[in-house]
Amino acid sequence: MSLVEIHGINKSYGSVQVLKDVSLDIAKGEVVAVIGRSGSGKSTMLRCINGLEPVQAGVIRVDGTQVNDPATNLRKLRQEVGIVFQSFNLFPHLSVCDNITLAPRVVKKQAPQAAREVAREVLARVGLEDKLDAYPSQLSGGQQQRVAIARSLAMRPKLMLFDEVTSALDPELTGEVLKVLESVAKEGMTMILVTHEMGFARRFGSRVVFMHEGRIHEQGPAAAVLAEPKTPELQTFLSAVLH
């Protein structure tokens, strides 16, 4: 069974339709890179999957639970779906440890000591175990994004969404974040990444999905799609980003 099922979703902002009849199935353990021009609807689709954006038509299911059903407990769903944002969105008033343990303590009712142990463990996974008691403002952009990934991991999600997580970083800092993404992918996490990192998509993506004007225009195995794009739109897009 697919972990994520998207069937015929439509979404408009006023008169602008940003998602047009989008359908996508993602199996457990897949690493899906969603690429496309800005404004093609890729970030919007990602945000629909954890219910941050409502859809006007269609069905989204995560692990069998329908996301766009008013009766669905989004609070429960979101414990299983982590999301990492372009702008990190760490809580600036909280230490790294509190950023990571807030949701486990408040939502999952973990004891503070146990939550701190989890924080230590996930920080080790992103290579920042020495920053447990630092504040976000004391960290570089790359480190902040790694903490944001750790914060998501601490909830033990089944699925992780990444919304252009390297786009706000200086080029020399993207490497350390991509390394973390790589290790998360290798651990078997199901991941959907909206990204401009074609190299990452090629090496670690099990599938590439190209979005164009609100539709899924082309998709397939990462290496094949990137090496031999079939549609002229994807060819144009790839030649623009690769050169």
Where do contacts with another protein occur on this chain (CB under 8 A)? Answer: 50, 52, 74-76, 78-79, 81-83, 85, 87, 89-93, 102-103, 106-107, 151-152, 155
Q: Which is nearer to another protein, 48 or 234 (CB)?
A: 48
The residues pairing with 34 across neighbouring beta strands, listed in sequence order, are 194, 209
CB of 237 to another protein, least distance (A): 27
Mutual orientation of helices 112-125 and 141-153 as an angle, nearest 10°? 130
Q: Which long-range contacts (CB under 8 A, 24 or more apart) does 53-57 make?
A: 53/11, 54/11, 55/9, 55/10, 55/11, 55/19, 56/10, 56/11, 56/12, 57/8, 57/9, 57/10
DSSP one-letter string for 144-184: HHHHHHHHHHTT--SEEEEESTTTTS-HHHHHHHHHHHHHH
CB of 222 to another protein, least distance (A): 26
CB of 51 to another protein, least distance (A): 8
Q: Which is nearer to another protein, 133 or 228 (CB)?
A: 133
Task: Please answer whether residues 195 and 178 qualify as being in contact, where contact means their C-beta atoms are separated by less than 8 angstroms.
Answer: no
Q: Which is nearer to another protein, 102 or 132 (CB)?
A: 102
Q: Which is nearer to another protein, 82 or 214 (CB)?
A: 82
Alpha carbons 37 and 39: distance in angstroms, whole number: 6
CB of 78 to another protein, least distance (A): 4
Q: Which is nearer to another protein, 76 or 230 (CB)?
A: 76
CB of 83 to another protein, least distance (A): 5
